[in-house]
Amino acid sequence: MAERTELRLLKGILPPLYRGNILGKESDMCQKFNNFRVAFVLCFVTLYLFIPLSLKAVNAQEDFYKGKTIRIVVGFSAGGGYDTYSRAIARHLGKHIPGNPKVIVENMPGASSLIAANHLYRIAKPDGLSIANIHGNQILNQVLGRPGIEFDARRFEYIGVPTKFGYVCAFTKASGITSMEKWMASKKLVKVGATGPGSSLYDAPRILQTVLGVPTHIVSGYKSIGDIRLAAEAGEVDGICGVGWQVFKAVWRRAIEAGDVVVVLQMLPQGHPDLPHVPLAINFAKTEEARQLIKAGIHDSGAFVFVYALPPATPKDRVGILRQAFLNTMKDPEFLADAKKSKLDINPLTGDELEENIREIFKLEPGLTAKLKEILK
């Protein structure tokens, strides 16, 4: 009888020591092996075909990125929180990408990163070499139908966010607003610096002004958090509201350490461990509608403030490589040490998690959407 093909194959790949024990009784082996021979052949063929293809794909991406430069376009000016995070990431991201490309940061400030978001959607090439770091509030702005939006956030390819945000309001000691009680009792309008409508620095204090009745005058037009810090130090404004604690403690570190600035309010579902004695905004809400507006307009968007995204139609294999590189960077001990030195919190969302959060924001209840539109018009 002709020896079965499967047995000849096994004899060729098994060490001599096992051939006698395993293949000595051909009839028994054949009977047992019949149940597995199809699976074995399929597995062997799959490995035979897949491994070379996988290596070829990896090599192709290494060839693509080798010698290239990746640009991270930050939608804010240099010196602010977005710029600080992006430059820290840029120092480490390249070593986690096949081919180890150079990674640089460019600033494209304007309209709370709306200019950068529109650029990413309409102009940037979908080649895996252009990443934008934009404010997640721009996604909420699309849901609210605000003017100037020239993108569909559902079509971006998302890489991730380095940390989930917890917004705070803080004022200089010189302003006299050193507690929430003093803010609410102030006889004059308390000036808060902001970039412009559509940013958390504008929208958060506007929502608080409407639903909590805090006396507030929003002074908009600043290009970055760094510029607002300088204005507060000069006495042009009393403080800032709607800034992420993670960014605030990095950009205003010296003032915090010197006691020259005081955080008076947190806008989070639960308090940040760094701020155990600072009250939560939602606890000052007197109606269920007020609580819902704070949640939808402030809390929910805080999960995806620091968005890193690619243009629509970026090849999926490059999206996958950059997502994995971003995640590996977030775990990189050298990056974490760098972030700690700069007082940057790292609590990332993956690209998949970010996409899911963004899908949820597009499901906002119509009545709530209409109310937010009215407040933020």
pLDDT in tens, 81-130: 899 999 999 999 999 999 999 999 999 998 889 999 999 999 999 999 99
Do 245 and 263 touch, CB atoms closer than 8 A? yes
* pLDDT for position 5: 42
* pLDDT for position 286: 94
Are 95 and 47 in the same domain? Answer: no
Which structure tokens are listed for 68?
Answer: 């290239």
* pLDDT for position 279: 98
Domain limit, last residue, from 20, 37, 63: 63
Percent over 90 (pLDDT), the chain: 71
Are 174 and 296 in the same domain? Answer: yes
CATH number for 265: 3.40.190.10
* pLDDT for position 81: 85
Which structure tokens are listed for 275?
Answer: 């701020």
Are 295 and 317 in the same domain? Answer: no
Residue 192 makes CB contacts below 8 A (sequence gap 6+) with 169, 201, 205, 216, 217, 218, 219, 237, 238, 239, 240, 241
Strand partners, 263: 170
Are 217 and 279 in the same domain? Answer: yes
Tens digit of each residue's pLDDT (9 = 90 or more) over 16-51? 433 444 344 444 433 444 444 544 444 444 444 444
CATH number for 133: 3.40.190.150
Which structure tokens are listed for 373?
Answer: 């539109």
Domain limit, last residue, from 63, 81, 109: 63
Domain limit, last residue, from 278, 301, 324: 301
Q: 3-class SS at 138? A: helix
Are 80 and 157 in the same domain? Answer: yes
Show the domain range for 51.
5-63
CA distance 23 to 39: 19
- Tally of domains in the chain: 3
Are 175 and 286 in the same domain? Answer: yes
Are 18 and 49 in the same domain? Answer: yes
Q: What is the pTM of this model?
A: 0.74
Q: What is the CA radius of gyration of the chain?
A: 27
User: Comparing C-alpha atoms, which of 100, 371, 110, 137 is closest to residue 243?
Assistant: 137
* pLDDT for position 29: 38
What are the E-state strand segments in the chain? 69-74, 102-107, 130-135, 157-161, 167-172, 190-193, 216-219, 239-244, 261-267, 306-310, 349-350
Are 118 and 227 in the same domain? Answer: no
Are 39 and 110 in the same domain? Answer: no
Are 175 and 297 in the same domain? Answer: yes
Are 264 and 198 in the same domain? Answer: yes
Low-confidence ranges of the chain (pLDDT < 70): 1-62
Q: 3-class SS at 274? A: coil
Are 101 and 172 in the same domain? Answer: no
